Structure 1
Amino acid sequence: MSDRQKRADDKTEVENNEHKRDFLERSGVGNWMRDALSKILSNRPKDAVDFLAQYFSSLGEKSNRLHRAYHHLTLTDYYQPMFASNVAVAYEVLSTSSGSRTPAGLTGIMYRDLLNLICRNIPPPLLEKFLSKIGPRDDEVIYPRVFHSGVMAAFVLIEYLKQTDDLFHLLISQSDTDRVDDELASTMLEELQEALAVKSSEPISILKAGSRLTNDTITETLMEILVASQREHRKMMTKEEFLLTSFNIYLKEVKPLK
């Protein structure tokens, strides 16, 4: 086998392994396997196989309830009137164990698992901060109004980050780089923070507040900054920095219910 062919085969194998790892992480199987092994080592059961069978049986029931609840939450957009009814159904699904017709109560760990499922495409560092702000203790009982508030905050966050991403791309469209002028970005973020500060108590108003950041506003601010400064080298802000700052502005407005 030639060196070129060997390198090609090695590259293919590496890519296949990466795809496998991506699948395991995306599906959650990797986390479940690690958790199962951790529980075996912690409990040291006499019959490890039976222990695993019971673990995955309960996990299957839990996963099914989570995905059924998530399905109800995605039947309609969160700003539609019917969404409140879908949230109530999702709460009932998670609160009722199999074999029981009456709600047993929703615990913090199941609530957190649902929020993780809803926000699975949010960058992990941001998701961790979000859950730390609104997430309860694992054994805490979650009441319907707390559940509705947290679910709404999660869906609004997803849309908010999408709008933030769109805003960043609108800003860099004014330049020929993948970064935005730091002063321009800071000005836009200050505008966003000011808009959020005067919002109403409705969560969806967080999204409406961003409408003031129009293309005309950005262009006007950009021209003022460029005319006022004669520096050749200006400080630039990356997309990650912009999203993090915008996220922190949102997180400050989230008021978790107890």
Structure 2
Amino acid sequence: MADKRKPNSADDRPQESDRQFLERSNVGTCMKDVLGKIIANRPEDPIAFMADYFDSLEEQTSLVARARQLIIMTHHSRPVFDINVRMAYETLQKSKCNKKLHGVNGTVYNELIRALCRDFPTLVMNRLLRKIECLDFEAVTYDVFKSGVFTCCVLEDYLKLVEYLFNSLDFTKTGKCDKAVCDAVLEQLKTSLASNKTDARKIVESGYNLGPDGLFHVLDKAMKRDTHISTAFTLEMFTAECCEAFIAKVKDARDQRSAIKVKKLR
């Protein structure tokens, strides 16, 4: 008699281990976080502290989702984007974490930043976070908040362009590009990003370097080179190199905070 069970039923799926379940559901991370805060704060009633923590965590997640939705409603190049960012900032200020703070709590800000770049390659996201994340318990000013949000949105567009450029260089359509060709394009990109944007002549030069004529010139030279060792770049490798050049130009959040403090003192 034939087995009439439906394919891919719950019984047919491989059972995940306890550790896999905890990692998938993010429970382990949440428990480590709350235990770390209990140890650091030594509350008189740890159970009540945990209850309050998870209540605020649920509210915080909801507020971050709303703030993210406001930010992604329109492209960062449109004037209304600034209005949406301000609304997102005011939304996050409603969090219980913001009591007695003149700004958005660092933990809430960091969660929003992570939500905005969650689809980035892990290596790129981690490098960016090292630049724009803030301390958990500090008050994030609007200027720092807006700068971090804007950077995430611009980098998202940049990643799409990097992928498009890689596919254009993948002449054989194998998912790999000649290293000499990639190196030539990367050098052109780094030269453009390193240009002094306050100098009008340099701005024009940067535009030429990344324009069709400038890229054609460096690609033509690269392809004419007599290389005995043929190596290749994958999209992941090419993206990492391109984003390294981009992130190097991003202002460190710590430097921005210092600049704001100096400005206030004057």
User: 1:58, 1:34 → 2: CA distance?
Assistant: 16
> CA separation of 1:11/1:130 partners in 2, compared to 1, >3 Å: closer, same or farther?
farther
Q: Indicate yes or no: 2:230 matched with 1:229.
A: no
Assess if the C-alpha contact under 8 Å between 2:208 and 2:214 holds in 1.
Answer: no
Correspondence for 1:179 among 173, 176, 179? 176
Query: What is the number of residues matched between the two proteins?
Result: 239
Q: CA deviation at 1:196?
A: 2.0
For the residues of structure 2 that align with 1:217 and 1:36, how far apart are their CA atoms?
54
Normalised TM-score (structure 2)? 0.73
Distance 1:93 1:29, change over 3 A: farther
Aligned to 2:77: 79
- Structure 1 residue 133 and structure 2 residue 131: aligned? yes
Q: Which runs of 5+ in 2 are unaligned?
A: 1-7, 199-205, 258-266
1:179 deviation in Å? 1.4
CA 1:214–1:23 in 2, change beyond 3 Å: closer, same or farther?
Answer: farther
The alpha carbon displacement at 1:31 in A equals: 3.5
CA distance in 2, matches of 1:11, 1:181: 47
Whole-angstrom distance in 2 between the partners of 1:197 and 1:181: 24
Backbone CA RMSD of aligned residues? 3.8
2:151 is the counterpart of 1:153:
yes
Structure 1 residues 102 and 125, CA gap change in structure 2 (3 angstroms): same
Identical-pair percentage = 30
Could you tell me how far apart the structure 2 residues matched to 1:83 and 1:69 are?
Answer: 12
Alpha-carbon shift at residue 170 of structure 1 (Å)? 1.3
Q: Which runs of 5+ in 1 are unaligned?
A: 1-7, 202-208
8 Å contact kept, 1:179–1:239: yes
The TM-score normalised by the length of structure 1 is: 0.75
CA distance in 2 between counterparts of 1:133 and 1:240 reads 21
User: Counterpart in 1 of 2:94?
Assistant: 96
Which letter does structure 1 place at the counterpart of 2:177?
V
Instruction: Tell me, yes or no, if the aligned pair for 2:178 and 2:233 is still in contact at 8 Å.
Output: yes
- Distance of 2:155 and 2:162 partners within structure 1: 10
1:196 corresponds to: 193
Shift of 1:83: 0.7
| Alpha-carbon distance in structure 2 between the residues aligned to 1:167 and 1:210 | 16
Partner residue of 1:238? 234
Q: 1:42 to 1:97 in 2, by over 3 A?
A: closer
The answer for the alignment partner of 1:113 in structure 2 is 111
SS, match of residue 180 in structure 1: strand
Is 1:66 paired with 2:64? yes
* One-letter amino acid of the structure 2 residue matched with residue 178 of structure 1: G
Identify the match of residue 166 of structure 1 among 154, 159, 164: 164
Change in 2 beyond 3 A, CA 1:121/1:40? same
- Out of 227, 235, 249, which is 2:245 matched to? 249
CA distance in 2, matches of 1:107, 1:224: 51
- Residue 70 of structure 2 contacts residue 88 of structure 2 at CA under 8 Å; is this kept in 1? yes
